[in-house]
Amino acid sequence: MNPRNPVNAQDLLLEVKNLRVDFRIDRKEIFEAVKGIAFDIPRNSTVALVGESGSGKSVSAMAIMGLLPEDSAIVRADSAILYNRRNLLIQSQDAWQKLRGKEISMIFQEPMSSLNPVFKVGEQIVETLRLHMRLSASQARTRAVELLNEVGIPDPKLRFSSYPHEMSGGQQQRVMIAIAIACEPKLLIADEPTTALDVTIQKQILDLIAALQKKHHMSVLFITHDLGVVGEIADYVVVMRRGEIREQATAQQIFDSPRDAYTKALLACRPRLDRRPRRLPVIEDFMGDKPAPVQPERLRGFALNDEIVLEVRNLGKTFYTREGLFRKRPIPAVKGVSFKLAKGKTLGVVGESGSGKTTVGLTVMRLHAASSGEVLFDGKDLLALSSKEFIHYRRRIQIIFQNPYASLNPRFTVGNILVEPMEIHGIGSSAADQLRLAIELLGKVGLPESAIHKYPHEFSGGQRQRIAIARCLTMRPEVLICDESVSALDVSVQAQVLNLLQDLQDEFHMSYIFISHDLAVVKYMSDHVMVMNDGEVVEMANSDEIYLHPKQPYTRKLLASVPKGREAGVAA
Amino acid sequence: MSAVLSSIPVKAQTSSGLWSIAMKRLARDKVGVISGGVVAVFLLLILASALGLVARDWSTEVGVSYANPSFLAGRENLEADAVRAAKKAVAAPPVDLSDVDPLAPRYKEWEERTKQIKTTEIERSETLPFGGDKWGRDVIKKTIKGAQASVFVGFVSAILAAFLGTLFGALAGYYGGRVSAIFEWLYNVFTSIPYILLVLAFAAVLGKGLLTVIMILGITGWTGIYRLIRAEYIKHRSREYVRAAEAIGASHNRRMFVQILPNVTHVILVQLSVHMVGFIKAEVILSFLGFGVPVEMVSWGTMLAEAQNELVIGKWWQLAAAGASMAVLVTAFSLFTDALRDALDPKLK
């Protein structure tokens, strides 16, 4: 058993004791999601629960909230969750109802889907207040405006009447936090509250949660897959893997002298701004008996005499929204972007959401029609070609999308998915030949041959992204656009996919356009970096240059928001 | 819970066909198997009756008028008694009119000739297994024969309507803009005219017959399916997997019918079963109005139309037979399409 947090029992708000949660898969099989874990949450402190997807961290939080699905989840009888020394697991549903929202409240990962889209945000706060605090309508309204102000929504009186879709992702998450703290809970559970947000917004939300925790003397259970995020706000860290606790200690201890190999691995697999090993360390490097090999640094950079494969000149894209019956309002998404992509090199494109970085990628591929500019490839302007002429170029520029759950057709087997582009472009002499090639590519991206007959939903996010990569590889593209391709993945899986992309670039000499909001990832992958804001290029330079000597204030702001964990030498 | 699901070891499948896997899954679904069995029995009966193996003699008048079902043998049957009384009246010797009748001398000759023709008076039975209709025809045989027309009409016109609705909906939803405007215009024309009027208009132009009924129902019935499929296509066309297909160079047709179509089949299947039910009922209305199946044929629709008058005099069996078989078939078919939809969805286990 790992050492427990050395805190006096009276100071503990929540004690999780030997929690075991199983899920019924069908009549015979059960899946052990949480295998007897124990940890404590002291009063007035922040505890981070860290682990990859499938580690059981969210299941544990659901158990604390009493939100586990009753028909499939079994909480073992000897489990106990003591809240103020009262066992939550044996209380009635009514008692849960009283507790939830009032004493323990929760914020979720996706603010957009957690807020009810047809009610004004103010009303949603008022509802919570009237339900639990028994305030009158006008009192609740005043309090709701106060809360909106407290979580940093500008002009709270006006924003009270906004609908969720009228707010940005960061503001929506602020509203969620306002609802969560409305009844002054003793315990706030934050389940990946910043994963769906940009770095700059992430930083603001983290600061907000930390400030609110201090102000209201709450305890916070912060759940995340990214150890780097919690470094600045957590007092204690609990590292989980496969339903078990690997290590729990104070944050200081976890970051300065992690004991468990898995914790070390989690710390190491996140790309860092100050180093660039040839390959990112992955979990497996640490879990074996041998010490992880120290990787030499990879040199990156962009030279003037590099062979250029793709040149974009003055690219522009304007969207239109309808206003009234006849008027259209132009919304420029990309304004005069120019860049050159060298053979075998990577151009990183960074920016917050709404900066136009994704639109650049889609427009270069003609998935959006460009409004102006030229894309020169092989001396031809791709944007000027007819769609028939373009089809021959299509296979030479490929894209990997952000969401591996959405970019694969759920009704196609992996075999269908891989063979389809070959059919379209007449690659491979026969069906058998195409299948052979598909299997070969599966091997290349690190998937077993048996995957060929499975459907996308049978794979995890990282594996699905590998399938998407294999699909692109079937066409042997010269340029690969990675549009936030690792953003939806856990840090540990992200490292594996980044390594895969790097290996493939080394092998096939492809050029990448690597689009991401995560500066550390872009730094790791890119030779040349382009920073975008509001559809314009803010700064473009060699990758090391931009991180060491950022010239523009916007670039500096972006760099400052990167979570640094605890500034400490991590064993790598 | 994707993490939970993905960690279940999945056995390697040797065949990759969507349908073979779907069939295996369907075989595990008890409700699906039973309802599929019921539908299959109906289809076999219909096939047999179409080939003349059963219910060939449905129009033979084997019983007395409104013959009682055999389980209600003792029930009084005023109608049959009335018919018998009328017959007796006919059999009474005619008044001798030979002195004024110019044909009288030939009566003798005719009588001799009629005697040469052998006639056997069919023994009309008092009861039939599930009763008889006004003319004494067996209701069970009538129901089986009626199923042939009704189910054929319902099935084929539902497929026709679903085909048109899916095609139009896919084109309109996928392309949007002008294409969508054209189909929306067509849709508005079809839905702005009262349904029965539209059906009658088509019936008047196309003439009578089973094929006409099918055409009418198919041509007028696609609108509801069109709306739903169009909405589905609008939703799916901007999904990332369709965009990914565009990125690998898939043509419009490929994206529409290879990529998106399998993802909307559940809508089509459910609509197909709903419309089949609707069209069986629509055939009833058409038959009632005289535009339905020809007089020499029988359908559940004509049976239900007859049942209106019968019910007043307490003869409920024709209604029960047609109604019950319709209910059983329709329920079984709906459950079967539901099971089929689940089996076709690779995400559900």
Could B241 and A424 be called an inter-chain contact, meaning their C-beta atoms sit closer than 8 Å?
Answer: no
Mean pLDDT of A63-78: 84
Three-state DSSP string of B221-254: HCHHHHHHHHHHHHHHHCCHHHHHHHHCCCCHHH
pLDDT digits 0-9 by tens, A153-162: 888 888 888 8
Could A394 and B240 be called an inter-chain contact, meaning their C-beta atoms sit closer than 8 Å?
Answer: no
Residue B246 token pair:
């565009």
B301 vs chain A: nearest CA distance in angstroms? 40
Could A25 and B8 be called an inter-chain contact, meaning their C-beta atoms sit closer than 8 Å?
Answer: yes
Residue carrying structure tokens 């009276």: A10
Q: What is the ipTM of this complex?
A: 0.75
Q: How far is CA A68 from CA A61, A75, A219, B129, B251, in A?
A: 9, 9, 22, 57, 45
- What residue in A sits closest to B9 (Cα-Cα)? A458
Q: What is the DSSP string of B318-339?
A: HHHHHHHHHHHHHHHHHHHHHH
Distance CA(A270)–CA(A231), nearest Å, equals 13
A339: nearest Cα among A350, A331, A326: A350
| A152 CB-near residues (< 8 Å, 6+ apart) | A174, A204, A208
Q: Which of residues 5-24 of A touch B (CB under 8 A)?
A: 23
| A281 CB-near residues (< 8 Å, 6+ apart) | A265, A268, A269, A292, A295, A495, A572
Per-residue model confidence (pLDDT) at position B14:
40
Q: Which domains does chain A have, with CATH numbers?
A: 104-184 (no CATH), 308-396+477-560 (3.40.50.300), 407-476 (no CATH)
- Taking only Cα atoms into account, the Rg of chain B, rounded to an integer number of angstroms, comes to 28
Q: Quick check: A459 contacting B, CB < 8 Å?
A: yes
- What residue in B sits closest to A25 (Cα-Cα)? B5
Q: What is the dihedral of CA A93, A94, A100, A103, to 10 degrees?
A: -130
Half-sphere exposure of A334 (CA within 13 A, CB side): 26
Q: Quick check: A57 contacting B, CB < 8 Å?
A: no
- What residue in B sits closest to A397 (Cα-Cα)? B247
In terms of phi and psi (left: phi > 0; alpha: psi -120 to 50; beta: otherwise), the region of A18 is left
- What residue in A sits closest to B6 (Cα-Cα)? A458
Instruction: Name the pLDDT band for A438 (thresholds 50, 70, 90).
Output: very high
Could A401 and B240 be called an inter-chain contact, meaning their C-beta atoms sit closer than 8 Å?
Answer: yes
Per-residue model confidence (pLDDT) at position B18:
62
Distance CA(A251)–CA(A230), nearest Å, equals 8
Distance CA(B262)–CA(A409), nearest Å, equals 9
- What residue in B sits closest to A451 (Cα-Cα)? B12
Query: First-to-last CA distance in chain A?
Result: 26
Per-residue model confidence (pLDDT) at position A73:
84
Distance CA(A65)–CA(A60), nearest Å, equals 9
Q: Which of B20, B248, B259 to substitute to test the interface with A, most A CBs within 10 Å?
A: B248
* Strand order, beta sheet including A219-224: A104-107, A187-191, A219-224, A46-50, A236-241, A244-250
Q: How far is CA A358 from CA A334, A341, A415, in A?
A: 10, 16, 28
Strand partners, A328: A322
Could B7 and A401 be called an inter-chain contact, meaning their C-beta atoms sit closer than 8 Å?
Answer: no
Q: Which of residues 226-265 of B touch A (CB under 8 A)?
A: 239-241, 243-251, 254, 258-259, 262-263
Strand partners, A399: A481
SS3 content of chain A, % helix, strand, coil (to 5): 40, 25, 35
Per-residue model confidence (pLDDT) at position B2:
38
Distance CA(A324)–CA(A312), nearest Å, equals 35
Half-sphere exposure of A283 (CA within 13 A, CB side): 13
Burial class for A50, CB neighbours closer than 10 Å (0-12, 13-18, 19+): buried
Q: Quick check: A117 contacting B, CB < 8 Å?
A: no
Q: Which domains does chain B have, with CATH numbers?
A: 29-51+137-344 (1.10.3720.10)
Residue A2 has pLDDT above 70, yes or no: no
Q: Quick check: A460 contacting B, CB < 8 Å?
A: yes
Per-residue model confidence (pLDDT) at position A289:
64
Q: Which of residues 474-493 of A touch B (CB under 8 A)?
A: 475
A494: nearest Cα among A198, A195, A253, A173: A195
Distance CA(A168)–CA(A107), nearest Å, equals 16
- Taking only Cα atoms into account, the Rg of chain A, rounded to an integer number of angstroms, comes to 25
Distance, CA of B45 to chain centre: 13
Mean pLDDT of A58-63: 87
The residue among A122 and A563 whose pLDDT is bigger is A122
A205: nearest Cα among A295, A111, A325: A111
What residue type is A535 in one-letter code?
G
Q: What is the DSSP string of B290-307?
A: T-SS-TTS--HHHHHHHH
Per-residue model confidence (pLDDT) at position A569:
39
Residue carrying structure tokens 């509801």: B224
- What residue in B sits closest to A473 (Cα-Cα)? B248
Distance CA(A112)–CA(A176), nearest Å, equals 9
DSSP assigned state of A429: S
Looking at the partner chain, which of A367, A454, A458 has a beta carbon nearest the beta carbon of B246?
A367
Say what the pTM is: 0.78
Looking at the partner chain, which of A31, A411, A454 has a beta carbon nearest the beta carbon of B262?
A411
Q: How far is CA A184 from CA A106, A128, A215, B49, B160, in A?
A: 12, 11, 11, 75, 61
Per-residue model confidence (pLDDT) at position B12:
39
Looking at the partner chain, which of B241, B248, B249 has a beta carbon nearest the beta carbon of A406?
B241
Cβ–Cβ < 8 Å for A174, A152: yes
What residue type is B159 in one-letter code?
I
pLDDT digits 0-9 by tens, A376-432: 988 889 888 888 888 888 889 999 988 888 889 988 889 999 999 998 888 888 888
Could A406 and B239 be called an inter-chain contact, meaning their C-beta atoms sit closer than 8 Å?
Answer: yes
Q: What is the pLDDT along chain B (349 residues), one digit of tens a residue?
A: 333 333 333 333 444 456 677 778 788 888 889 999 999 999 898 899 888 888 778 877 878 888 888 787 777 777 778 877 877 776 666 677 777 778 877 888 888 888 887 766 667 777 777 778 877 788 888 888 888 888 888 889 999 999 999 999 999 999 988 999 999 999 999 888 887 787 778 778 887 778 888 888 888 889 999 999 999 999 998 888 998 898 888 889 999 999 999 889 888 988 888 888 788 878 877 777 777 777 778 888 888 888 888 888 888 888 888 889 888 988 888 888 888 878 877 665 4
- The C-alpha angle with vertex A437 and arms to A435 and A440, in degrees rounded to 5, equals 110
Per-residue model confidence (pLDDT) at position A33:
86
Per-residue model confidence (pLDDT) at position B120:
67
What residue type is A246 in one-letter code?
R
Q: Chains A and B: how many Cβ contacts under 8 Å?
A: 105
Instruction: Name the pLDDT band for A488 (thresholds 50, 70, 90).
Output: confident
Residue A6 has pLDDT above 70, yes or no: no
B326: nearest Cα among B157, B161, B156, B154: B154
Could B248 and A23 be called an inter-chain contact, meaning their C-beta atoms sit closer than 8 Å?
Answer: no
Q: Quick check: B348 contacting A, CB < 8 Å?
A: no
Instruction: Name the pLDDT band for A570 (thresholds 50, 70, 90).
Output: very low
